[in-house]
Protein backbone atom coordinates (compact mmCIF):
# COMPACT_ATOMS: atom_id res chain seq x y z
CA UNK A 1 0.00 0.00 0.00
CA UNK A 2 1.54 3.28 -1.04
CA UNK A 3 -1.12 5.84 -0.27
CA UNK A 4 -1.13 6.69 3.45
CA UNK A 5 -4.65 8.07 3.18
CA UNK A 6 -5.88 4.51 2.76
CA UNK A 7 -5.12 3.83 6.43
CA UNK A 8 -7.60 6.52 7.45
CA UNK A 9 -10.08 5.16 4.90
CA UNK A 10 -9.71 1.64 6.28
CA UNK A 11 -10.19 2.88 9.84
CA UNK A 12 -13.29 4.79 8.87
CA UNK A 13 -14.84 1.87 6.97
CA UNK A 14 -13.90 -0.50 9.81
CA UNK A 15 -15.89 1.44 12.39
CA UNK A 16 -18.76 2.56 10.17
CA UNK A 17 -19.24 -0.54 8.04
CA UNK A 18 -17.76 -3.57 9.81
CA UNK A 19 -18.58 -2.73 13.43
CA UNK A 20 -21.75 -0.66 13.08
CA UNK A 21 -23.45 -1.79 9.87
CA UNK A 22 -22.33 -5.43 9.65
CA UNK A 23 -21.85 -6.51 13.27
CA UNK A 24 -24.14 -3.99 15.01
CA UNK A 25 -21.51 -3.76 17.75
CA UNK A 26 -22.48 -2.19 21.06
CA UNK A 27 -21.20 1.29 21.97
CA UNK A 28 -18.95 -0.33 24.60
CA UNK A 29 -17.34 -2.59 21.98
CA UNK A 30 -16.81 0.31 19.58
CA UNK A 31 -15.21 2.38 22.34
CA UNK A 32 -12.95 -0.50 23.38
CA UNK A 33 -11.77 -1.12 19.81
CA UNK A 34 -11.28 2.60 19.22
CA UNK A 35 -9.06 2.92 22.29
CA UNK A 36 -6.98 -0.12 21.33
CA UNK A 37 -6.34 1.10 17.79
CA UNK A 38 -5.64 4.63 18.97
CA UNK A 39 -2.94 3.34 21.32
CA UNK A 40 -1.44 1.21 18.55
CA UNK A 41 -1.38 4.12 16.09
CA UNK A 42 0.29 6.42 18.61
CA UNK A 43 2.85 3.69 19.38
CA UNK A 44 3.55 3.20 15.65
CA UNK A 45 3.96 6.97 15.25
CA UNK A 46 6.58 7.04 18.00
CA UNK A 47 8.48 4.17 16.37
CA UNK A 48 8.33 5.52 12.81
CA UNK A 49 8.56 9.25 13.48
CA UNK A 50 5.51 9.86 11.28
CA UNK A 51 2.21 11.55 12.03
CA UNK A 52 -0.92 9.37 12.15
CA UNK A 53 -2.10 10.67 8.78
CA UNK A 54 1.23 9.61 7.23
CA UNK A 55 1.14 5.99 8.41
CA UNK A 56 0.96 3.02 6.05
CA UNK A 57 -0.63 -0.27 7.07
CA UNK A 58 2.90 -1.69 6.84
CA UNK A 59 3.90 0.64 9.67
CA UNK A 60 1.75 -1.54 11.94
CA UNK A 61 3.15 -4.92 10.91
CA UNK A 62 3.58 -8.01 13.09
CA UNK A 63 6.82 -6.78 14.71
CA UNK A 64 5.29 -3.45 15.69
CA UNK A 65 2.17 -5.11 17.05
CA UNK A 66 4.26 -7.51 19.16
CA UNK A 67 6.33 -4.61 20.50
CA UNK A 68 3.11 -2.78 21.27
CA UNK A 69 1.69 -5.73 23.19
CA UNK A 70 4.90 -5.99 25.22
CA UNK A 71 4.70 -2.23 25.83
CA UNK A 72 1.20 -2.64 27.27
CA UNK A 73 2.35 -5.17 29.84
CA UNK A 74 5.79 -3.83 30.76
CA UNK A 75 5.37 -0.06 30.58
CA UNK A 76 1.65 0.53 30.96
CA UNK A 77 1.22 -2.24 33.55
CA UNK A 78 -1.70 -3.90 31.78
CA UNK A 79 -2.74 -7.42 32.71
CA UNK A 80 -2.55 -10.34 30.30
CA UNK A 81 -6.33 -10.17 29.97
CA UNK A 82 -6.17 -6.51 28.91
CA UNK A 83 -3.34 -7.31 26.50
CA UNK A 84 -5.45 -10.02 24.90
CA UNK A 85 -8.46 -7.72 24.70
CA UNK A 86 -6.35 -5.16 22.80
CA UNK A 87 -5.14 -7.91 20.49
CA UNK A 88 -8.74 -8.93 19.78
CA UNK A 89 -9.49 -5.39 18.59
CA UNK A 90 -6.35 -5.31 16.44
CA UNK A 91 -7.18 -8.68 14.90
CA UNK A 92 -10.68 -7.52 14.04
CA UNK A 93 -9.25 -4.48 12.25
CA UNK A 94 -6.76 -6.56 10.28
CA UNK A 95 -9.52 -8.96 9.21
CA UNK A 96 -11.11 -5.88 7.68
CA UNK A 97 -7.79 -4.84 6.13
CA UNK A 98 -7.34 -8.26 4.50
CA UNK A 99 -10.84 -8.13 3.02
CA UNK A 100 -10.61 -4.57 1.69
CA UNK A 101 -6.96 -3.96 0.75
CA UNK A 102 -5.42 -6.83 -1.27
CA UNK A 103 -2.01 -5.14 -1.23
CA UNK A 104 -1.89 -5.51 2.57
CA UNK A 105 -3.00 -9.15 2.83
CA UNK A 106 0.52 -10.31 3.71
CA UNK A 107 0.83 -7.81 6.57
CA UNK A 108 -2.66 -8.67 7.79
CA UNK A 109 -2.05 -12.42 7.78
CA UNK A 110 1.12 -12.07 9.84
CA UNK A 111 -0.70 -9.93 12.42
CA UNK A 112 -3.65 -12.33 12.51
CA UNK A 113 -1.23 -15.18 13.29
CA UNK A 114 -0.22 -13.56 16.61
CA UNK A 115 -1.58 -15.87 19.34
CA UNK A 116 -3.34 -14.78 22.49
CA UNK A 117 -1.22 -15.06 25.60
CA UNK A 118 -2.13 -17.65 28.18
CA UNK A 119 -2.69 -16.32 31.66
CA UNK A 120 -3.05 -17.75 35.12
CA UNK A 121 -6.64 -18.24 36.25
CA UNK A 122 -6.86 -16.48 39.60
CA UNK A 123 -9.08 -17.61 42.46
CA UNK A 124 -12.44 -15.84 42.38
CA UNK A 125 -12.55 -13.11 45.02
CA UNK A 126 -15.87 -12.65 46.81
CA UNK A 127 -17.36 -11.29 50.03
CA UNK A 128 -19.31 -13.11 52.70
CA UNK A 129 -22.86 -12.04 53.50
CA UNK A 130 -21.74 -10.18 56.63
CA UNK A 131 -19.06 -8.35 54.64
CA UNK A 132 -21.59 -7.31 52.00
CA UNK A 133 -23.91 -6.08 54.75
CA UNK A 134 -21.12 -4.00 56.30
CA UNK A 135 -20.33 -2.49 52.90
CA UNK A 136 -23.97 -1.58 52.25
CA UNK A 137 -24.33 0.07 55.67
CA UNK A 138 -21.14 2.14 55.33
CA UNK A 139 -22.52 5.21 53.46
CA UNK A 140 -24.19 7.89 55.59
CA UNK A 141 -27.99 7.54 55.22
CA UNK A 142 -28.52 11.11 56.49
CA UNK A 143 -27.04 12.73 53.37
CA UNK A 144 -28.23 12.70 49.78
CA UNK A 145 -24.81 11.46 48.62
CA UNK A 146 -24.81 8.69 51.21
CA UNK A 147 -28.28 7.50 50.22
CA UNK A 148 -27.24 7.37 46.57
CA UNK A 149 -24.09 5.44 47.45
CA UNK A 150 -26.04 2.96 49.55
CA UNK A 151 -28.56 2.41 46.75
CA UNK A 152 -25.77 1.85 44.21
CA UNK A 153 -23.88 -0.64 46.37
CA UNK A 154 -27.11 -2.47 47.22
CA UNK A 155 -28.04 -2.56 43.53
CA UNK A 156 -24.70 -4.16 42.61
CA UNK A 157 -24.92 -6.61 45.52
CA UNK A 158 -28.52 -7.73 44.92
CA UNK A 159 -28.67 -7.81 41.10
CA UNK A 160 -25.13 -8.97 40.26
CA UNK A 161 -25.06 -6.39 37.47
CA UNK A 162 -21.81 -5.41 35.82
CA UNK A 163 -20.86 -1.85 36.68
CA UNK A 164 -21.57 -0.72 33.11
CA UNK A 165 -25.01 -2.36 33.27
CA UNK A 166 -25.86 -0.68 36.57
CA UNK A 167 -24.84 2.76 35.34
CA UNK A 168 -26.84 2.33 32.12
CA UNK A 169 -30.10 1.75 33.99
CA UNK A 170 -32.77 4.43 33.53
CA UNK A 171 -35.84 4.92 35.70
CA UNK A 172 -37.96 3.49 32.88
CA UNK A 173 -36.06 0.18 33.16
CA UNK A 174 -37.42 -0.41 36.67
CA UNK A 175 -40.57 -2.18 37.77
CA UNK A 176 -40.99 -1.42 41.45
CA UNK A 177 -44.59 -2.49 42.05
CA UNK A 178 -45.49 -5.76 43.72
CA UNK A 179 -45.59 -8.44 42.53
CA UNK A 180 -42.84 -8.90 40.00
CA UNK A 181 -40.32 -6.25 41.04
CA UNK A 182 -37.57 -6.35 38.43
CA UNK A 183 -35.05 -4.38 36.36
CA UNK A 184 -34.12 -4.56 32.70
CA UNK A 185 -30.34 -4.70 32.27
CA UNK A 186 -28.56 -3.89 29.01
CA UNK A 187 -25.64 -6.31 28.88
CA UNK A 188 -22.71 -7.11 26.65
CA UNK A 189 -23.25 -7.37 22.91
CA UNK A 190 -26.62 -5.60 23.07
CA UNK A 191 -28.06 -8.51 25.05
CA UNK A 192 -30.82 -7.64 27.50
CA UNK A 193 -31.97 -9.59 30.53
CA UNK A 194 -34.42 -9.11 33.36
CA UNK A 195 -33.42 -9.82 36.95
CA UNK A 196 -35.59 -9.65 40.08
CA UNK A 197 -35.32 -6.89 42.65
CA UNK A 198 -35.24 -7.70 46.35
CA UNK A 199 -37.61 -5.78 48.63
CA UNK A 200 -34.84 -3.88 50.41
CA UNK A 201 -33.35 -2.77 47.09
CA UNK A 202 -36.76 -1.79 45.68
CA UNK A 203 -37.44 0.32 48.78
CA UNK A 204 -34.13 2.13 48.40
CA UNK A 205 -34.75 2.78 44.71
CA UNK A 206 -38.25 4.14 45.35
CA UNK A 207 -36.82 6.57 47.91
CA UNK A 208 -34.00 7.52 45.54
CA UNK A 209 -36.42 8.36 42.71
CA UNK A 210 -38.73 10.26 45.07
CA UNK A 211 -35.84 12.31 46.40
CA UNK A 212 -34.76 13.25 42.88
CA UNK A 213 -38.32 14.05 41.88
CA UNK A 214 -38.44 11.82 38.81
CA UNK A 215 -41.10 9.36 37.74
CA UNK A 216 -40.64 5.65 37.29
CA UNK A 217 -41.39 5.92 33.58
CA UNK A 218 -38.91 8.69 32.82
CA UNK A 219 -35.97 7.90 30.50
CA UNK A 220 -33.53 9.46 32.99
CA UNK A 221 -30.44 7.81 34.53
CA UNK A 222 -30.95 6.07 37.86
CA UNK A 223 -27.53 6.83 39.35
CA UNK A 224 -26.23 10.38 38.86
CA UNK A 225 -23.46 12.61 40.18
CA UNK A 226 -23.80 15.92 42.05
CA UNK A 227 -24.62 17.67 38.75
CA UNK A 228 -27.42 15.23 37.84
CA UNK A 229 -25.27 13.66 35.12
CA UNK A 230 -25.08 9.91 34.71
CA UNK A 231 -22.52 8.53 37.16
CA UNK A 232 -19.27 7.48 35.49
CA UNK A 233 -17.46 4.19 35.93
CA UNK A 234 -14.66 5.98 37.78
CA UNK A 235 -17.19 7.61 40.08
CA UNK A 236 -18.87 4.29 40.87
CA UNK A 237 -15.54 2.61 41.65
CA UNK A 238 -14.74 5.49 44.00
CA UNK A 239 -18.11 5.01 45.74
CA UNK A 240 -17.41 1.34 46.43
CA UNK A 241 -13.83 1.89 47.58
CA UNK A 242 -14.86 4.75 49.86
CA UNK A 243 -17.54 2.56 51.44
CA UNK A 244 -15.02 -0.27 51.87
CA UNK A 245 -12.61 2.05 53.71
CA UNK A 246 -15.39 3.09 56.10
CA UNK A 247 -16.73 -0.44 56.59
CA UNK A 248 -13.26 -1.79 57.39
CA UNK A 249 -13.44 -0.10 60.80
CA UNK A 250 -16.28 -2.42 61.86
CA UNK A 251 -15.43 -5.34 59.56
CA UNK A 252 -11.60 -5.70 59.53
CA UNK A 253 -11.78 -8.58 57.04
CA UNK A 254 -12.60 -6.07 54.30
CA UNK A 255 -9.19 -4.42 54.66
CA UNK A 256 -7.56 -7.69 53.57
CA UNK A 257 -9.61 -8.04 50.39
CA UNK A 258 -9.56 -6.26 47.05
CA UNK A 259 -12.90 -4.47 46.87
CA UNK A 260 -14.39 -3.40 43.56
CA UNK A 261 -17.87 -3.25 41.99
CA UNK A 262 -17.19 -6.57 40.23
CA UNK A 263 -16.49 -8.29 43.56
CA UNK A 264 -20.12 -7.65 44.49
CA UNK A 265 -21.16 -9.51 41.32
CA UNK A 266 -18.97 -12.46 42.36
CA UNK A 267 -20.41 -12.30 45.87
CA UNK A 268 -24.01 -12.59 44.68
CA UNK A 269 -23.09 -15.55 42.48
CA UNK A 270 -21.50 -17.35 45.43
CA UNK A 271 -24.49 -16.60 47.66
CA UNK A 272 -26.88 -18.01 45.05
CA UNK A 273 -24.72 -21.10 44.59
CA UNK A 274 -24.41 -21.75 48.33
CA UNK A 275 -28.19 -21.36 48.64
CA UNK A 276 -28.73 -24.23 46.21
CA UNK A 277 -29.51 -22.26 43.03
CA UNK A 278 -28.44 -24.26 39.97
CA UNK A 279 -25.69 -23.07 37.62
CA UNK A 280 -28.01 -22.54 34.64
CA UNK A 281 -30.16 -20.13 36.66
CA UNK A 282 -27.07 -18.28 37.87
CA UNK A 283 -25.78 -18.15 34.28
CA UNK A 284 -29.03 -16.52 33.12
CA UNK A 285 -29.04 -14.16 36.13
CA UNK A 286 -25.49 -12.91 35.49
CA UNK A 287 -25.80 -12.88 31.70
CA UNK A 288 -22.93 -15.28 31.01
CA UNK A 289 -22.75 -16.43 27.40
CA UNK A 290 -21.43 -19.87 28.48
CA UNK A 291 -22.12 -21.92 31.58
CA UNK A 292 -18.37 -22.64 31.81
CA UNK A 293 -17.91 -19.05 32.96
CA UNK A 294 -20.46 -19.60 35.73
CA UNK A 295 -18.87 -22.90 36.72
CA UNK A 296 -15.83 -21.13 38.19
CA UNK A 297 -17.96 -20.15 41.20
CA UNK A 298 -18.46 -23.81 41.99
CA UNK A 299 -14.71 -24.30 41.70
CA UNK A 300 -14.11 -21.41 44.11
CA UNK A 301 -16.37 -22.68 46.89
CA UNK A 302 -14.04 -24.81 49.02
CA UNK A 303 -16.68 -25.34 51.72
CA UNK A 304 -19.05 -26.97 49.23
CA UNK A 305 -16.21 -29.21 48.09
CA UNK A 306 -15.42 -30.11 51.68
CA UNK A 307 -19.08 -30.89 52.35
CA UNK A 308 -19.03 -33.13 49.30
CA UNK A 309 -16.09 -35.06 50.73
CA UNK A 310 -17.91 -35.46 54.03
CA UNK A 311 -21.03 -36.77 52.28
CA UNK A 312 -18.91 -39.21 50.31
CA UNK A 313 -17.27 -40.42 53.49
CA UNK A 314 -13.80 -39.73 52.16
CA UNK A 315 -12.70 -38.15 55.44
CA UNK A 316 -14.28 -40.91 57.49
CA UNK A 317 -11.32 -43.24 57.50
CA UNK A 318 -7.73 -43.19 56.37
CA UNK A 319 -5.98 -46.11 54.74
CA UNK A 320 -2.78 -47.65 55.99
CA UNK A 321 0.33 -45.78 54.95
CA UNK A 322 2.39 -47.45 52.22
CA UNK A 323 5.52 -49.14 53.63
CA UNK A 324 8.16 -50.05 51.08
CA UNK A 325 9.74 -53.47 51.57
CA UNK A 326 12.80 -53.01 49.42
CA UNK A 327 15.86 -51.43 51.10
CA UNK A 328 16.40 -48.99 48.24
CA UNK A 329 12.80 -47.88 48.38
CA UNK A 330 13.06 -47.45 52.16
CA UNK A 331 16.12 -45.30 51.63
CA UNK A 332 14.27 -43.08 49.16
CA UNK A 333 11.28 -42.89 51.49
CA UNK A 334 13.48 -41.45 54.28
CA UNK A 335 14.93 -38.67 52.07
188 counts as catalytic = yes
Both 268 and 142 in a single domain? yes
Do 251 and 150 share a domain, yes or no? yes
Residue 289's pLDDT is: 80
End of a domain among 262, 277, 292? 277
Query: Is 110 marked active-site?
Result: no
Asked whether residue 220 falls in the same domain as residue 253, the answer is: yes
- Considering the domain architecture, whether residues 85 and 175 belong to the same structural domain is answered as no
Cross-strand bridge partners of residue 183:
174, 195
142 tagged catalytic: no
What is the tens place of the pLDDT at every residue in 25-82?
888 888 889 999 999 999 999 998 888 888 888 889 999 999 999 999 999 999 898 9
Residues 161 and 189 occupy one common structural domain: yes
Q: Does residue 265 sit within a domain?
A: yes
Of 188, 212, 230, 257, which residue is the catalytic one? 188
Task: Give the span between the Cα atoms of 14 and 117, in whole angstroms.
Answer: 25
**121 in any annotated domain:** no
- Reply yes or no on whether 266 is catalytic: no
End position of a domain, from candidates 227, 258, 277: 277
Residue 12 makes CB contacts below 8 A (sequence gap 6+) with none
The model's pLDDT over 96-118, given as tens digits with 9 standing for 90+, comes to 999 998 889 999 999 999 999 98
State the catalytic residue, choosing from 110, 147, 212, 262.
262
The CATH number of the domain where 63 resides is what?
Answer: 1.10.150
Asked if 239 and 190 count as a contact pair (C-beta separation under 8 A), the reply is no
Confidence of residue 240 (pLDDT cuts 50, 70, 90): very high
CA atoms within 13 A on the CB side of 52: 10
Asked whether residue 37 is domain-assigned, the answer is: yes
User: Are 267 and 137 members of one domain?
Assistant: yes
Catalytic residue among 83, 150, 186, 265: 265
Domain count, the chain: 2
Q: Which helix H or strand E contains 195, and what residues bound it? A: strand 192-196
Q: How far apart are the C-alpha atoms of 45 and 38, rounded to whole Å?
A: 11
Query: What is the domain extent for residue 164?
Result: 129-277
Q: Is residue 293 part of a domain?
A: no
User: 272 and 141 share a domain?
Assistant: yes
In a domain, 288, yes or no: no
Task: Please indicate, yes or no, if residue 291 is contained in any of the structural domains.
Answer: no
My answer on whether 137 and 106 are in the same domain is: no
- Per-residue pLDDT, 306: 63
Per residue in 183-223, pLDDT (tens digit) is: 999 987 778 999 999 999 999 999 999 999 988 888 999 99
Task: Provide the 10 A C-beta neighbour count for residue 335.
Answer: 4
Pair 207, 73 in one domain: no
| 108 and 145 housed in the same domain | no
For residues 58 and 139, membership in a common domain is answered with no
At 9 the pLDDT is: 85
**C-alpha span between 143 and 330 (Å, rounded):** 72
153 and 247 together in one domain: yes
Of the residues 84, 112, 140, the one at which a domain ends: 112
**Separation between Cα atoms, residue 159 and residue 157, nearest integer Å:** 6
The residue from 18, 150, 158, 162 that is catalytic is 162
CATH number of the domain to which 140 belongs? 1.10.443.10
Classify residue 306: in a domain, yes or no.
no
CA–CA dist 84, 78 (Å, integer) = 10
Which residues pair with residue 221 across a beta bridge?
170
Question: CA of 19: how far to CAs of 13, 60, 61, 161, in Å?
Answer: 9, 20, 22, 25
221 is a domain residue: yes
Q: Which residues pair with 280 in a beta bridge?
A: none
Amino acid sequence: MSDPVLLAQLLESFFLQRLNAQRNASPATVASYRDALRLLILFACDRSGRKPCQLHVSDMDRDIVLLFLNHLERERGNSVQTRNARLTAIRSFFHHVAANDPASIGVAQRVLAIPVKRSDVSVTNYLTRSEVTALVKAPDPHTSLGRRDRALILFLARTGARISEALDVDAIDLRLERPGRQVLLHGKGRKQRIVPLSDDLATNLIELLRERGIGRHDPLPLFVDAHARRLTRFGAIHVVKRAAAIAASTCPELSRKQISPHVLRHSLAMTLLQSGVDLLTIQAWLGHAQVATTHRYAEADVEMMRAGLDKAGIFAATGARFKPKDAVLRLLERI
